[in-house]
Amino acid sequence: MIRYFKPNQTGHMTAAGNRRAIIIGLFVFACIGCSKTAQPPEPEVDLPLPEVKEIRIMGNTHFSSRTLRREMATQTAPFYLPWKEGDPYNRPTVEADLKRLQKYYFDRGYLNTIVRLHDVRLEPEEPNEREAYIDIAIEEGPLTTVSEVRLTGEIPPALPSASELRDALPLQAGDPINKADFDRSKTQLLRHMQNAGYARAEVRPQTEVDTQNHTASVTFELVPSELTEFGSVTIQGANQVQESTIRRALKIRQGERYRVDDITDSTDDIYNLGMFLAVTPRAENLAEHGAPLNLSFEVQERRPRTVQIGVGFSTVERFFFDASWLHRNLFEGAQRLRLSAHLGSFEQSIEASLHLPYFLMPRTTFTQTIFVRNEQELNTDPTGISDAIFSIEDPRPDYDQFSVGGESRLGYQFSRRLGGFGGLELSYNDFRNINEEALAAVGEEPPEDNLLLIQFVELIWITSNDLLNPTRGWLLRGRLDNANRALLSDATFVKLTVEGRHYQPLWDNIILATRLELGGIEPYGDDAEIPFNVRFFAGGPGSVRGFALDRLGPLDAEGGPIGGNSLIEGSVEVRFPIVGALGGAAFVDFGNVFRDSFTYRLDDLRYAVGPGMRYNTPIGPIRLDVGFIMDRRSGEDLFRVELSIGQPF
């Protein structure tokens, strides 16, 4: 502090003031001297945070340590990526992880769980090389179960009875007080009221916990409010696609009774036009009770043109090359034109496709495709390494096939889940390099060039939640093909294929996936033989794993597939997470192809089992499967390794 001394009336300081000035001067002089001679403090060195090498969880009996570690932000280095380091040990992050684990237990009914940091060991002694070993102790406590579920409030007449609503809820008496089931039950009740026209409905939950008996009573109070109609609908963000094109996809009409499913369907249909990165519906006046509900749909448009070039490898085609060019919104009405080319070891093709999302009447689409396809072996791996490792074989060793043609497909969406297709497929097929001796040895006539005009109808019913990687729901599909010599074809036959797939969550993100497919071909009229390019073939990564591509079923004298008129295939697969985007699978596949029409001999089914790994990507999982043939025969490999993209079904 600096002090100012007031002089006396004569202009001189007092004696006391003089002494003070001398003392202050000496003090300031000493401070200046110290500032010149004192050394600055040593700068602090920021040591690197220790790498987390191990996280050990103790006391957990209801959930595995691997499951709990997945919930933590702090992670060790994955075993399958040895070059990657674990996360740095950060005490605040670990404290947050303890709360995450406690919430994980709480959300699953363990309301009194205690999670604490038991120990952290830093080794070795050298500060720059230390590693962290974390021990977490868990006291799980008792499980709290639901003693009863009650519905109160006003239940609209359009809804089922209170008992029917309650019995259909995911949360039931006797179940653990599970947050996921609790939230799904609330959402289900709210959706019931919203689909009955109550756009501003509420569901008010209340939970009373008996801490002595570890039970919980759950009450859902239904507050429907007033019936609501749809008001105005606005479209935002559409600069290239015509607004009228987007409005055609709407299931909403002004003045109609409000249904939340109509908003969901409209959002899906707009997105499925393929023109948008995102579609977001918003209620504009939800708080304005008594008024029609106004909506807006905000769209984010994709780029009008996209070029994609890719090089890949699979155990079906060795190395392959793909290129495509996509023009979106061709005539400003969401039309799509795609040109694509594929160069692989066993198939080379060029294809052009034009898709019209609206054709002649609502909910109707039209797709025209033309193609040139050559099925001939081209060795894309001259080193032979891929053949040696994966035993890759030509699926058509008895002949090469060149095809040119097109398909006209008309689609109609009957409902949100059910769609139908019909159309014509015209192709000219030329067979070359035929191995007549191998075919003659098993009584087969060599394939003949043919012209086919196939009429087809197809129905698809889908409730699965994802097309690339489904985890719940159904897919049912049936297709009927017909060709007749009276309609330009060189063969007369009818071909029927039906398939069913089901995906069921079990527990802890484990999915049970099942599939069954049946097919049959019947020639009629004066025809007795079915062309090779129409027959069924089985075996391979999308069929019965463990068998080489198309090698399951009738074979010629040299082991080449000749196909058949009847097909049966099925799979049972358990899919489970491992860590992060990496998952695993265990499967049983079965099936066979029979030469006779609509003939299925269950005692001749072939089986394969094995494990698999999946790495999830935005375009679907990268899949590695190892299939072991259970009843291996002479000339068949004990197992096959299959590498491909996408789930097998």
Distance between CA atoms of residues 400 and 430, nearest Å? 8
Instruction: Render pLDDT for 39-78 as a digit per residue (tens, 0 to 9).
Output: 444 444 456 789 999 999 999 999 999 889 989 999 998 8
* SS3 category, 224: coil
Residue 91 has φ and ψ, to the nearest 5°, of -60, -45
Q: Residue 159 has which token pair?
A: 């809804």
Burial of 494 (0-12, 13-18, 19+ CB in 10 A): middle
Q: Which residues pair with 311 in a beta bridge?
A: 321
Distance CA 611, CA 79 (A): 18
Q: 501: how many CB neighbours lie within 10 A of its CB?
A: 20
Pairing mode of beta strands 400-413, 202-210: unpaired
CATH number of 51-139: 3.10.20.310
pLDDT at 508: 73
401 by DSSP, 3-state: which?
strand
pLDDT for residue 416 = 84
* pLDDT at residue 581, rounded to an integer: 86
Tell me whether domains 145-223 and 230-301 share a fold.
yes
User: Tokens at residue 65, please?
Assistant: 């340590």
- Give the model's pLDDT for residue 335: 95
206, β-bridge pairs: 219
Q: What pLDDT score does 391 carry?
A: 87
Distance between CA atoms of residues 46 and 128, nearest Å: 10
- Residue linked to tokens 């040299």: 558
**Contact (Cβ atoms closer than 8 angstroms) between residue 605 and residue 629:** no
Sign of CA dihedral 590, 596, 597, 598: negative
Task: Give the whole-angstrom CA distance, residue 227 versus residue 289.
Answer: 10
- Give the model's pLDDT for residue 634: 85
Position 56, amino acid: R
Q: What are phi and psi of 221, to 5 degrees?
A: -95, 125
pLDDT in tens, 170-205: 999 999 999 999 999 999 999 999 999 999 999 999
Pairing of strands 215-223, 202-210: antiparallel
Contacts of 287 (CB under 8 A, 6+ apart): none
CB-side exposure of 479: number of CA atoms within 13 Å? Answer: 16
Distances (CA, A) of 377 to 191, 334, 393, 397, 586: 55, 38, 10, 8, 32
> From 2.40.160.50, 2.40.70.10, 3.20.20.70, 3.40.50.620, which CATH number describes the 393-645 domain?
2.40.160.50
Give me the phi and psi of 271, to 5 degrees please: -65, -40
The angle subtended at Cα 559 by Cα 389 and Cα 449, nearest 5°, is: 110
Q: Which residues pair with 115 in a beta bridge?
A: 138
Strands 145-153 and 215-223: parallel
Q: How far is residue 550's CA from residue 569's CA, in Å, rounded to a whole number?
A: 12
**CA gap 466, 446 in Å, rounded:** 43
Distance CA 92, CA 74 (A): 11
Furthest-apart CA atoms within the chain: distance in Å: 142
Copy the structure tokens of residue 83: 């070059």
3-state secondary structure of 601: coil
Cis ω before 170 (30° cut-off from 0): no
Q: What is the DSSP string of 506-542?
A: -STT-EEEEEEEEEEEEE-TT-----TTTSB-B-STT
CATH 3.75.10.10 is held by the domain 230-301: no
Give residue 252's Cα distance to chain centre.
Answer: 29
pLDDT of residue 47: 61
DSSP letter for 486, please.
G
What whole-number distance in Å separates Cα of residue 304 and Cα of residue 50? 49
pLDDT 10s digits, 343-356: 999 999 999 999 99
Radius of gyration, alpha carbons of the chain: 35
Q: How far apart are CA 156 and CA 192, in angstroms?
A: 10
Domain boundaries, the chain: 1-33, 51-139, 145-223, 230-301, 306-382, 393-645
Burial classification of residue 114, based on how many CB atoms lie within 10 Å of its CB (0-12 exposed, 13-18 middle, 19 or more buried): middle
Using CA atoms, how far residue 648 sits from 575, 606, 637, in Å, is 12, 18, 21
Strand 293-301 and strand 230-236: the pairing is parallel
Of the candidates 502, 609, 594, 602, the residue with the CA atom closest to the CA atom of residue 545? 609
Does an H or E element contain 36, and which? helix 15-37
H or E stretch covering 247: helix 243-248
CB atoms within 10 A of CB 21: 13
Q: What is the pLDDT of residue 5?
A: 30
Q: For the purposes of burial, counting CB atoms within 10 Å of the CB of 29, is it exposed (0-12), middle (13-18) or buried (19 or more)?
A: exposed
In sequence order, which residues have a C-beta less than 8 Å from that of residue 631 and are 6 or more positions away?
Answer: 606, 607
The answer to whether residues 517 and 497 touch, using CB atoms and an 8 Å cutoff, is yes
The CATH classification number of 145-223 equals 3.10.20.310
What is the pLDDT, as a whole number, of residue 125?
A: 64
pLDDT at 362: 85
Q: How far is CA 59 from CA 121, 137, 214, in A?
A: 19, 6, 20
* Collapsed DSSP state (helix, strand, coil) of residue 384: coil
Residues 210-246 as b or e (16 or more Cβ within 10 Å = b): eeeebbbbbebebebeeebebbebebebbeebeeebb
pLDDT (0 to 100) of residue 11: 38
* Sign of the torsion formed by the C-alpha atoms of 380, 386, 387 and 388: positive
The pLDDT, as a whole number, for residue 26 is: 35
Q: Which amino acid is at 562?
A: I
Sites in the chain below the pLDDT cut of 70? 1-47, 80, 125-128
Q: How far apart are the first and last CA of the chain?
A: 82
